[in-house]
Each structure stands twice: as structure tokens, then as C-alpha cells.
Amino acid sequence: MNDFLFADFLEDQAVYAALQAYWQTRLAFLDGLCSPYLRTSFANGQAFNDGNPIVNLADRNAGKAARIVQQCPQEFGPCYTSFGQAIELAGSDGQLRPAREKVIVLTLTQATAQRAGDELRAWFMPG
């Protein structure tokens, strides 16, 4: 049986905010190394709150980025996949530079949260 965490995050803004806090705490080991690289709100400031991405982090110096796309468990059931792709990241000077992005797509359980955390640790802090 799957014990999905924050299962109704797309229907309840308070749950969505709690989910964001959960990920921030879970990935605190990346504080100071990474910062967000994607917009998560519309031009009027209203947040997307669609889970894509629920997490987005970039180490611009290393040319690496990662995002977690969290799916609705009622619609997708248990899932976890990840892949890498080429992107461009803006540097501190505003110039775009080639980079690599790790994309993790999941429905959230304790197991998938652990797996995503381990994968991001290996991605940003190899060796």
C-alpha cells in the first residue's frame, strides 16, 4: 500500500504551503549551494501551485540544476522517474550558459522523498 504524503496539495493552498516547507526542510543540506532558477508564479504574482516544479534548485557555478515535479497521486498513482537534459542557465551577469538539469517526477511517499533527496545529494555533491 502507498502512503502518499500531502495527497491533496493541488486542492488546498495551506497543504501546498506545508508541502513546500516539507521539501525545504528535507533539502536543507543544499542551502547556500543552490538557489531557485525557475519562476513559480504568474506575472501578477499569483503562484502556479501546480507542482511543476515543487522544487527548483541550481548551482550556477557548477552549471547544474534540478527540479522536482510532483504529481497528483489520485491521478497518477505511484510513480518515480528521473532524467537529465541540457538547458541554459543565466549567470550572475545575466548571460545564458550551457548547463545540465536533473528532472525528477514523482508522487510523494516517504520512499520517493528519500530517493529524490539521495539523487539530488549525488547530483549536486558528487563524491
Q: What is the pLDDT of residues 68-127, one digit of tens each?
A: 999 999 999 999 999 999 999 998 788 999 999 999 999 999 999 999 999 999 999 987
Tell me the percentage of the chain whose pLDDT exceeds 70. Answer: 98
Q: Are 72 and 81 in contact (CB under 8 A)?
A: no
pLDDT exceeds 70 at position 62 = yes
Whether residue 53 is preceded by a cis peptide bond, meaning omega within 30 degrees of 0, is: yes
pLDDT interval class at 1 (50, 70, 90): low
pLDDT interval class at 41 (50, 70, 90): very high
Q: Which residues contact 37 (CB under 8 A, 6 or more apart)?
A: 56, 57, 58, 60, 65, 89, 90
pLDDT (mean) for 59-75? 96
In this structure, what DSSP letter does residue 108 have? -
